[in-house]
């Protein structure tokens, strides 16, 4: 396990475009589900096993946190086992601060196990402010006493109880906090305006498998009846829909054809219908989804909570827009700061203008803010190779596919962001024919 307090070794890739990317990619379970299942495992009296896990940095970071609490965690290929039995502490070392979103999700389970918790401040990608106020107010509604310090969050509460909670926005993380806390709280919790993303439902089903009593009602409502004990469970994770979409787009943006295995059609409905509207042809079986296109036209797309077009599909789509005919519009309604990657695309030749207005859809909650959250992209525009620093996981993937579609080679720095969230991305791109050479590059220090 890498030590989180050690700086991440800066790595860079030199990407040599070779023309259309063609071939097969197999995705594993999703980054945004696996680590939550590891947290859920803390609630069981017996060990849990999660299968079909991707090999990504986020699992190592989460395993390190759980081990620091006294849990046994084994990562063997695609299987992750968590035995929470010998948990000895409710304090997550502050050196885990700023690495991912998991510390805040640990609070509820750790309160149930230890009665008192200290977790570092959460990190994750720099895609907007990413506050945790919904998590904190939900925990408080269930009886936790929460204090924020400059370093982290301290919470106490040995006897948590059910509550009626309405989230101001259907936050994935806050819904997960409520589920992970309410399952062992005393009495009933009604959660309104909950997130219903497939990864959230997958977590709810895992908790149900552990013995939790969770009902999903219409209109984004969960009803959770607290139980006294939960048992460990086993689950084979469903395929990562962000990776699946991203590789399909990698094929389209280079004029090729990528066939993605491991992610069922049902997780990609909105992605498929959006790309079809633009002119992509799909071939879909129970085993795989493949896309190609003779010609792609412009589109107006608004990101949204599920079942809308997901925010994590936004950056590959922006790159695809640069190669489509006409003016396309992207309206980001989930995160207010998700366009920093655009500056580097413009340096590569993309014609993209950013706006603080709500373009191409209904007004969103960023309408009154000065947040830059809409983009107009003109295509098709030739891109040229460049030297780029990866700002976040999803922006990083967008740069690789832009580099694959460009003329001339590119050097992409800080690719460790990609390795935190994608299963062997370099190998996957190489299998599609892209020439990538790993360099020991300078860090941006960003």
Task: Report the residue number, 127 or 249, with the smaller CB distance to ligand EPU.
Answer: 127
Under the criterion CB under 6 A, does residue 335 sit at the interface with ligand EPU? yes
Q: At 288, list the tokens.
A: 């795989």
When asked if residue 311 is in the footprint of ligand EPU (CB under 6 A), the reply is: yes
Segment lying near ligand EPU (by CB under 6 A), choices 73-81, 121-129, 248-256, 433-441: 121-129
How many Cα atoms are found within 13 Å in the side-chain-facing hemisphere of 101?
Answer: 22
* Position 135 contacts ligand EPU (CB under 6 A): yes
Rounded Cα–Cα distance for residues 302 and 284 (Å): 25
Using CB under 6 A as the binding criterion, the count of chain residues that bind ligand EPU stands at: 28
- Which lies closer to ligand EPU via its Cβ, residue 21 or residue 178? 178
Per-residue contact string for residues 273-292; x = within reach of ligand EPU by CB under 6 A: --------------------
Cβ–Cβ contacts within 10 Å for residue 128, how many?
Answer: 17
Return the number of the residue (142 or 324) whose C-beta is nearest ligand EPU.
Answer: 142
Residues β-bridged to residue 260: 25, 289
Q: How far apart are CA 172 and CA 176, in angstroms?
A: 6
Restricted to residues 15-34, the positions that interact with ligand EPU (CB under 6 A) are: 31-32
Q: Token pair of 244, please? A: 């699946």
Pairing of strands 48-51, 234-236: parallel
> Under the criterion CB under 6 A, does residue 128 sit at the interface with ligand EPU?
yes
Which range binds ligand EPU by CB under 6 A, 71-79, 125-133, 178-186, 406-414?
Answer: 125-133
Nearer of residues 133 and 283 to ligand EPU, judged by Cβ: 133
Please identify, using beta-carbon distances, which residue of 243 and 292 lies nearer to ligand EPU.
243
Q: Per CB under 6 A, which of residues 167..226 are in contact with ligand EPU?
A: 169, 171-174, 195, 197
Separation CA 119–CA 99 (nearest Å): 12
User: Which one of the spans 106-114, 165-173, 204-212, 344-352 is the region binding ligand EPU (CB under 6 A)?
Assistant: 165-173
The C-alpha atoms of residue 201 and residue 193 are separated, in whole angstroms, by 14
Q: Which stretch binds ligand EPU (CB under 6 A): 74-82, 130-138, 292-300, 405-413?
A: 130-138
Could you confirm whether 392 is annotated as catalytic? Answer: no
Contact 311, 338 (CB under 8 A): yes
Q: Does 133 bind ligand EPU (CB under 6 A)?
A: yes
Q: Which of 132, 139, 141, 293 binds ligand EPU (CB under 6 A)?
A: 132
In the set 58, 125, 240, 312, the catalytic residue is 125
Residue with smaller CB distance to ligand EPU, 169 or 236:
169
**Which are the catalytic amino acids?**
125
Which residues of the chain form contacts with ligand EPU (CB under 6 A)?
A: 31-32, 101, 125, 127-135, 169, 171-174, 195, 197, 310-312, 334-335, 393-394, 421
């Amino acid at each position: 396990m890498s030590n989180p307090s050690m700086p991440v070794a800066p790595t860079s890739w030199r990407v040599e475009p070779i023309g259309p990317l063609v071939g097969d990619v197999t995705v594993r379970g999703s980054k945004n589900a696996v680590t939550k299942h590891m947290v859920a495992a803390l609630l069981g009296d017996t060990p849990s096993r999660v299968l079909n896990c991707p090999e990504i940095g986020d699992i190592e970071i989460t395993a390190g946190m759980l081990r620091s609490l006294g849990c046994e965690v084994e990562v063997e290929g695609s299987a992750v086992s968590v035995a929470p039995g010998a948990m000895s502490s409710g304090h997550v070392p502050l050196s885990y601060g700023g690495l991912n979103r998991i510390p805040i999700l640990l609070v509820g389970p750790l309160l149930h196990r230890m009665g008192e918790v200290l977790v570092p401040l959460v990190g994750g990608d720099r895609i907007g402010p990413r506050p945790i106020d919904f998590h904190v107010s939900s925990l408080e509604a269930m009886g936790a006493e929460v204090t924020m310090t400059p370093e982290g969050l301290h919470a106490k509460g040995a006897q948590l109880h059910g509550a009626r909670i309405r989230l101001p926005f259907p936050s994935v993380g806050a819904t997960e906090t409520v589920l992970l806390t309410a399952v062992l709280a005393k009495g009933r919790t009604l959660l309104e305006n909950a997130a219903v993303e497939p990864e959230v439902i997958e977590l709810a089903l895992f908790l149900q498998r552990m013995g939790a009593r969770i009902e999903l009602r219409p209109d984004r409502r969960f009803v959770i009846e607290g139980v006294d004990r939960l048992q460990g469970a086993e689950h084979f994770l469903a395929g990562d829909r962000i990776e699946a979409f991203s590789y399909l787009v990698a094929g389209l943006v280079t004029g090729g054809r990528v066939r993605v295995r491991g992610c069922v059609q049902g997780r990609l409905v909105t992605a498929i219908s959006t790309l079809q509207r633009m002119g992509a042809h799909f071939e879909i079986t129970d085993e795989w989804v493949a896309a190609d296109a003779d010609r792609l036209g412009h589109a107006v797309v608004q990101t949204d909570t599920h079942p809308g077009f997901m925010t994590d599909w936004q950056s590959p789509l922006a790159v695809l827009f640069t190669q489509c005919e006409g003016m396309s519009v992207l309206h980001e309604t989930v995160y207010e700061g998700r366009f920093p990657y655009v500056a580097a695309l413009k340096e590569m030749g993309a014609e993209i203008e950013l706006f603080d207005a709500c373009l191409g859809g209904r007004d969103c909650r960023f309408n009154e803010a000065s947040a830059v959250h809409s983009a107009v992209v003109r295509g098709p525009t030739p891109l040229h190779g460049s030297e780029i620093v990866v700002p976040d996981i999803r922006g990083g993937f967008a740069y690789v596919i832009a580099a694959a579609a460009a003329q001339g080679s590119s050097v992409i720095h800080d690719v460790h962001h990609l390795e935190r969230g994608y299963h062997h991305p370099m190998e996957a791109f190489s299998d599609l024919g892209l020439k990538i050479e790993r360099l020991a590059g300078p860090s941006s220090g960003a």
